[in-house]
Amino acid sequence: MWRDWLRAYADAWENADPGVVELFTEDATYLSQPFREPHTGRDGIRAYWAGATATQRDTEVLIGDPLVAGDHVVAEWWTTMVEDDGPVTLPGVLLLDFDGDECRALREYWAYEPGRHEPFPEWGRFEGDQPAADHAAAWADAYERAWRAGDADAAAALYAEDVSFRSHAFREPVRGRAAVRDYTARAFAAEEDRVARLGRPLAAGAGAAVEYWTTYVEEGAAQTLAGCVLMSFDANGAVTTSRDYWHVADERRDPPAGWGRFG
């Protein structure tokens, strides 16, 4: 069911098809960016979709291997298209709640880059044979504590020695626990008056997804960082691969309804 839904969603995007609304319940919510108001109901989704796709052409959408837990699905996409100013690449992650064959809630995080770019090697898949459900909740609890405390050592200790850590879809990955510790220390040092929150993980097979929402002050200005991290783990619960999609607002913002949980 969900594979058919994801393929139909990708096809609708490629063809700017307003019939995409038939994939959603009558009262569905569609949160296209964490700092926007959600589009509600099929009429609201139809209006958003028409505006979003109006300037897009030659659109190609790839869908990664989804994480599925009951009525909840997380799936990456990688989209290339041509807009008025030229080709662009838009990768992101969908967080979906289903009611039968229809989606009743969608929220997403994404990145944007001019030009056509191929997916990075680990995009859209989760390697390994360790069940992520055994480790994801413990990771989220421990990382939230480390982030709130600004403790880069405690945060880095949650990663494998040979971890591949990609903080943004268009950045090169940081490799190894020591490099993750250095990256994290720089990020924590720039933040003052932080409040970090991590959501409830969705884990399936070898992969897990966790949302985060952090407010802080950087160089005297309040900011909010909202995103979703996708991970896999080793047998000891250490993160072996990590990649993020996120957005920043230049003010303190509260999470929207439904944030950080599934269902």
Q: How far apart are CA 54 and CA 9, in angstroms?
A: 16
| Alpha-helical segments (H) within 35-151 | 41-53, 136-149
The predicted structure's pLDDT at residue 130: 86
pLDDT in tens, the chain (263 residues): 788 999 999 999 999 999 999 999 999 999 999 999 999 999 999 999 999 999 999 999 999 999 999 999 999 999 999 999 999 999 999 999 999 999 999 999 999 999 999 999 999 999 888 899 989 999 999 999 999 999 999 999 999 999 999 999 999 999 999 999 999 999 999 999 999 999 999 999 999 999 999 999 999 999 999 999 999 999 999 999 999 999 999 999 999 888 998 76
How many whole angstroms from its chain centre is CA 229? 6
The pLDDT score that the predictor gives to residue 102 is 97
**Which residue from 57, 55, 73, 54 is spatially nearest to 65, judged by alpha carbons?**
73
Helices (H) and strands (E) counted in the chain, each on its own, are: 5, 15
Task: Give me the pLDDT at residue 128, please.
Answer: 83
CA distances in angstroms from 248 to 96, 112, 226, listed in the order given? 22, 13, 6
pLDDT of residue 11: 97
pLDDT of residue 257: 83
115: CB partners within 8 A, 6+ apart: 86, 87, 88, 89
Q: Where are the beta strands (DSSP E) in 84-138?
A: 86-99, 102-110, 113-114
